Structure 1
Amino acid sequence: MRIRATVAAVSGALALSALAVPAAQAGEQAVPSLDKPTAAEAFGLGAKTPRAAARAAVTEPVISKVVVNGGKDIVLGTTASKKISVSITASHPSGIADGYVDLWHGSDVETDVDGWVMPNEDAATCTNSSATTATCKMTITIVPGEDLYKNALAGTWHVTAGALAGDQSSVAWNDYHSKARVQRLSKVTVNASPEPVKKGKTLTVTGKLSRANWETGTYKGYATQAVKLQFRKKTSSTYTTVKTIKSNSTGALKTTVKASVDGYWRYSFAGTSTTPTVTAAGDFVDVK
């Protein structure tokens, strides 16, 4: 009855075709043939439930809550896939038979979808909280370099939510229900030298800010980003921002400070819409 597995096979083939594009062109490659399923396709209802069709005098399920990845941003590096949890809570007089959640990237679900990930399961696992309401859970696996075949896919994705009535008389379906954020994993390093250093002498603090490049499968420097240099005294548990600098064109960080007391130096990046916050472990400097 269900055809999610068939749809998944088609999307997998499209992802492979995207990978066949040379790396230099992959970032520019759109995938106009990434056709998301309609409600009828997702729930195996044939032509009874076309997307966004008006259903006069039919009571549709009411979707009250959708949770993607526990409400947290979805962060991926260069190679490791990530399995996230998704859930939908809905109600209908006859109960809820199934739920559906997927994520897609683009401006228009009908004409502009260049990224799409769907549930691993053919059907959701639904738990009833009453005779009319249920929470249905699924998982979605996202693979960098395949699902995330270009860096432009970092940022805001749309969340599709669907629920099938217990008696299968109707479906609630919204391709624009909510939004989720997919980000490129970031890294930052720090090194303060010389170690040890004489009190009052100049301390040079270097490092690098980088993030995952899904097109090359490597980490590349994140240029011209504001990064905080922070310090914690050996006797303290709190870091204080000393100054804010910007990474150079290759993501490198470098600044100087005067050494005063023993303590830990670190760089901290607040993050952007496409890249998460990251903070280096403190580098201890002994001041003589």
Structure 2
Amino acid sequence: MRIRATVAAVSGALALSALAVPAAQADVHASGGDSTYRAAVAKFLGNGGKSAFVTSPVDGDLPYELNVSFSNFKVAKSINVGAGGHVVVPVTYTLTHGTEVNIKASDFMSGPILYTGADDEDLESLNALQGEKPATCTAASTTVANCKANIDIYPAEGDLTNANAGAVWTAGAFAIALNGQDLSGDTIDPSKIGIKSQRDLGTTTVRRLSKLTVNATPEPVRKNATITVTGKLTRANWDGPNYTGYATQPVQLQFRKNGASAYTVVKTIKTTASGDLKTTVKATVDGFFRYVFAGTATTVGSSAAADFIDVK
């Protein structure tokens, strides 16, 4: 589902304005992931990080700022997503923490976030992607850990919309130390819980996958006769979800002589309003025709599986 997050509203020196992880995605895929992690994300970083504490025995109590920071965030420069399925995006980052922070505790959790749709002057809402499970953090020293995690994307369940394609997605990370507080209990003491989030750790783009088809007819064909090469260019429609025609896009028709190793460009044509392709060429020798789409800022390029023409 498409998810939104509000900026954390907290008092005093604790300013979790860096990120507020949406509660929505934490609850979507209940069949997988880590239930404690999902609950923690939903309870503490969703709803602005404040309304989660309505059952607190002390009115107005808020978590303290956890002594951690994040660096060396690494994610693919471009994430290519189709119309369905489950896309897993590996992420690594470094977590630096105070000696008082026990990252080996069973209720310590950290995770990455990708977000878009907001800037420093408009943080009322974010579109965000996160993982189903917390990161695995391995201690490199007493104060530094190397973390590995995944961002999980389900395009058919509304995690993305077409408006998100090609946008700059910014990386962030967060950590939660529950310090023994039971999220399933009727009351919790938020003041004993540590939270820290950090934004602007890197950037990536998320693009729509495309598909191309080709069909050269008739076959077999007489030498120097005219053949018609049809095809269709479609791309993932995250608002569907399905694949729909990509209109008015330049596509190359390429040919490879039978026995040769390289293709040559025959001509470039544009798709129709429905993504269809159609052109004619002369058949001179046996070989393979294919259509090739270079891609755009929002959509990944693709090549059609080659179609063989037998020239008699």
Tell whether the structures are fold-level matches, with TM greater than 0.5. Answer: yes
Q: How many residues align?
A: 245
1:285 counterpart residue number: 309
1:62 shift after superposition: 5.6
Which residue, out of 124, 128, 132, partners 1:111? 124
2:137 counterpart residue number: 126
Rounded to whole Å, the distance in 1 between the matches of 2:196 and 2:294 is 38
Within a 5 Å distance, the mapping from 1:238-249 to structure 2 comes to 238-249=262-273
Say whether 1:67 aligns with 2:74.
Answer: yes
Within a 5 Å distance, the mapping from 1:90-109 to structure 2 comes to 90-91=95-96, 94=99, 97=103, 99-108=110-119
1:47 shift after superposition: 3.5
Q: Could you tell which deviates more after superposition, 255-264 or 176-185?
A: 176-185
Q: Please, what TM-score do these two structures have when normalized by structure 2?
A: 0.67
Say whether 1:86 aligns with 2:86.
Answer: no
Which residue, out of 268, 274, 277, partners 1:250? 274
Q: Please, what TM-score do these two structures have when normalized by structure 1?
A: 0.72
Which residue, out of 285, 288, 296, partners 1:264? 288
1:48 corresponds to which letter in structure 2?
Y
1:85 shift after superposition: 1.9
Which residue, out of 157, 171, 183, partners 2:207? 183
1:86 corresponds to which letter in structure 2?
V
Root mean square deviation, CA, Å: 3.4
Rounded to whole Å, the distance in 1 between the matches of 2:255 and 2:63 is 63
- Listed as ranges, the gaps of 5+ residues in structure 2 are 1-20, 30-44, 53-60, 104-108, 178-193
Within a 5 Å distance, the mapping from 1:5-44 to structure 2 comes to 9-11=23-25
Contact 1:96–1:134 (Cα < 8 Å) also in 2: no
Say whether 1:48 aligns with 2:60.
Answer: no
Contact 1:191–1:205 (Cα < 8 Å) also in 2: yes
Contact 1:83–1:141 (Cα < 8 Å) also in 2: yes
Rounded to whole Å, the distance in 2 between the matches of 1:256 and 1:133 is 63
Cα offsets for 1:132-170 (capped at 9, x unmatched) = 4322012222111434353112222221134689xxxx9
Rounded to whole Å, the distance in 1 between the matches of 2:291 and 2:217 is 14
- After superposition, the Cα gap between the structure-2 partners of 1:217 and 1:254, relative to the gap in structure 1 and judged at 3 Å, is same
Contact 1:88–1:100 (Cα < 8 Å) also in 2: no
SS in 2 for 1:216: coil
1:82 corresponds to which letter in structure 2?
V
- Listed as ranges, the gaps of 5+ residues in structure 1 are 1-6, 16-33, 51-58
| Greater gyration radius | 2
SS in 2 for 1:255: strand
Contact 2:216–2:229 (Cα < 8 Å) also in 1: yes
Rounded to whole Å, the distance in 1 between the matches of 2:269 and 2:158 is 34
1:99 shift after superposition: 4.2
Contact 2:115–2:129 (Cα < 8 Å) also in 1: yes
Within a 5 Å distance, the mapping from 1:110-259 to structure 2 comes to 110-113=123-126, 115-121=127-133, 123-148=134-159, 150-156=161-167, 157-162=169-174, 173-259=197-283
Contact 2:112–2:172 (Cα < 8 Å) also in 1: yes
- After superposition, the Cα gap between the structure-2 partners of 1:146 and 1:209, relative to the gap in structure 1 and judged at 3 Å, is same
- After superposition, the Cα gap between the structure-2 partners of 1:37 and 1:263, relative to the gap in structure 1 and judged at 3 Å, is farther
1:181 shift after superposition: 1.6
Contact 1:158–1:176 (Cα < 8 Å) also in 2: yes
Rounded to whole Å, the distance in 1 between the matches of 2:200 and 2:47 is 13
SS in 1 for 2:148: strand
SS in 2 for 1:195: coil
1:31 counterpart residue number: none
Contact 1:103–1:116 (Cα < 8 Å) also in 2: yes
